Structure 1
């Protein structure tokens, strides 16, 4: 099958670029002593996670239990859930994964989380594993001080939970557009994480896992003492938002194919709308950079730019998502390509697994 044979809108995944991005990331980490546990929130596809593991990743990171369940069904792991598991229903799902023999570690930030894990362990007879999430400046979840992290670690040990370490995420870096200021912010965030590491070590609770960082931080985090692993996810496909922060390192492997359905004097209309494409990080652009997705309605998009003059109704164009994660979450399959040939279809099994 050729790309011209596909119905639109649909997602195209360039397999050669995926493999190149995986190799690039492993090359960055080679010799640093820092491992990779890539985040599943980007591909949401076991076939991609398997490529990452075969290339040397030590496990997979998830944000939701539904993602962990997809990986478990595929026999992939170990799994780090970089999120808190809250509520009896979810705690029991976590325990069910442990009962299946899945190696999964979850994050805690409070006594409430520990109390729920302890209660779930008593109900199920399982022994959960946990890392302590620390607030590295994002002001989302996380232990606020090194002293609090030490206290929580002691509680985990005392309660019989498998204490494995800490994690922190410097996601607030994405709000800083200036390179030098962003680098300083990343260094500060990682220093905060290491303050917790040092306090835990002094208390005899040295963390085995110190997990941090998204794709845009890897060049700094991979050279930061104390960090043991990175949770980068976006690198495997890249997108235009990530390219703003770490340009020229990874290639855009994911595109959305759409059909032009109308052409006017100053704009055109495509058949991809907000139900198949997202723009929360800015307007998606065509691969050649001449056409901008200026506006999304439900099932239509307004196209502008110098490339409009060359468009005709029925023509196909590919756009690079500004945020691949949320765009692909609206689809069920990748059409895997080499050049203009479709060589496979990969189901996006964790799409919309937001529970």
Structure 2
């Protein structure tokens, strides 16, 4: 099947670029002691996760139980849920996964989390595993002090939960546009995680896992002797937002194919909109950089730029999303390409699995 045979809007996945991005990440980690546990929030597709595991990843990170269930059904793991699992509905689902002998670890950040998790595990007759989330500066979830982390580690052991270590995410780095200030922020965040690790070591509770980092902080985090694994996810597809923070390392693997339905004097209109494309980190841009989606409504994109003069109704344009994760979450399938040929379709089984 050729690209021209596909109806639009359609999400294209360049398999050559995906393979190159996997290889590029392996080169970044070459000679490092850290391992990769890539985040499933980017591909949301078992076929991609299978490629990452085959290339040496030690497991997969997820944000939600729904994503973990997709991976479990595909026979993929081990799984780290880098989030708190709270409430009876979700705990019942977690216990069902553990009853299937799925190797799954969840994050805790409070005594409430630990006791609720431990009680559910006892009632289900299974052994749960947990890491303690440290607030590395995101001001989201996570323990605030090393002493608090040590208390939770002791409580996990007392309650019969398998204490596996700590995690922290320095995602607030993306709010700092200056590269020198951003590097300092990343290092400060990782040093904060280190202080928790040292406190655990001194308390006789050394963490087997110290899990950190998004794609843009990999080069720094991989050099930290106390970090054992990285949760980078965006690298696998790359997007305009990620490219601004770690330029030149990864190829754009994900594009949205759209059709021009009207051409005006100062703009053109394409058949994609907010129901198939997101723009929260800036306007999507064409592959050649000459066209951008200046405005999105529900089913229309207003295209502008130097390439406007070349457009005619019926033309196809490939747009690179500013944020791939939220764009792909709107779709159900990738049209997998090599060059101009569509070689397969892969279902995005974890799309909209936000529970």
Task: Sort the TM-score into its range (normalised by shorter chain).
Answer: over 0.9
CA–CA distance in 2 between the matches of 1:123 and 1:315?
A: 60
Which residue does the alignment assign to 1:194? 194
How far is the alpha carbon of 1:115 from its aligned partner?
1.5
How far is the alpha carbon of 1:16 from its aligned partner?
0.7
Alignment of 1:137-156 (within 5 A): 137-156=137-156
Which residue does the alignment assign to 2:54? 54
How far is the alpha carbon of 1:318 from its aligned partner?
0.0
Which residue does the alignment assign to 1:332? 332
Which residue does the alignment assign to 1:134? 134
Kept in 1, the 8 Å contact 2:115–2:159? The answer is no
Which residue does the alignment assign to 2:28? 28
CA–CA distance in 1 between the matches of 2:33 and 2:220?
A: 14
Q: Deviation digits for residues 160-212 of structure 1, max 9, x if unmatched?
A: 00000000000000000000000000000000000000000000000000000
Which residue does the alignment assign to 2:89? 89
How far is the alpha carbon of 1:93 from its aligned partner?
0.4
Alignment of 1:204-243 (within 5 A): 204-243=204-243
What TM-score do the two structures reach when normalised by structure 2?
1.00
SS at match of 1:192: helix
CA–CA distance in 2 between the matches of 1:338 and 1:256?
A: 15
Kept in 1, the 8 Å contact 2:283–2:322? The answer is yes
Task: Tell me if 1:304 matches 2:282.
Answer: no
Alignment of 1:1-355 (within 5 A): 1-355=1-355
CA–CA distance in 2 between the matches of 1:338 and 1:225?
A: 39
CA–CA distance in 2 between the matches of 1:125 and 1:297?
A: 51
How far is the alpha carbon of 1:122 from its aligned partner?
2.2
How far is the alpha carbon of 1:30 from its aligned partner?
1.7
Q: Which runs of 4+ in 1 moved over 4 A?
A: none
Q: Deviation digits for residues 189-246 of structure 1, max 9, x if unmatched?
A: 0000000000000000000000000000001101112000000000000000000000
Q: Deviation digits for residues 27-59 of structure 1, max 9, x if unmatched?
A: 111211100000000000000000000000000
Aligned length: 355
CA–CA distance in 1 between the matches of 2:298 and 2:178?
A: 34
CA–CA distance in 1 between the matches of 2:295 and 2:270?
A: 10
Kept in 1, the 8 Å contact 2:258–2:271? The answer is yes
CA–CA distance in 1 between the matches of 2:171 and 2:263?
A: 40
List gaps (5 residues or longer) in structure 1: none
Computed over aligned residues only, the root mean square deviation of the Cα atoms, in angstroms, reads 0.5
SS at match of 1:20: helix
What TM-score do the two structures reach when normalised by structure 1?
1.00
CA–CA distance in 2 between the matches of 1:339 and 1:299?
A: 28
CA–CA distance in 1 between the matches of 2:170 and 2:122?
A: 35
Of stretches 27-36 and 170-179 in structure 1, the one that deviates more from structure 2 is 27-36
SS at match of 1:343: strand
CA–CA distance in 1 between the matches of 2:118 and 2:214?
A: 30
How far is the alpha carbon of 1:62 from its aligned partner?
0.1
Q: Deviation digits for residues 282-324 of structure 1, max 9, x if unmatched?
A: 0000000010100110000111111111100000000000000
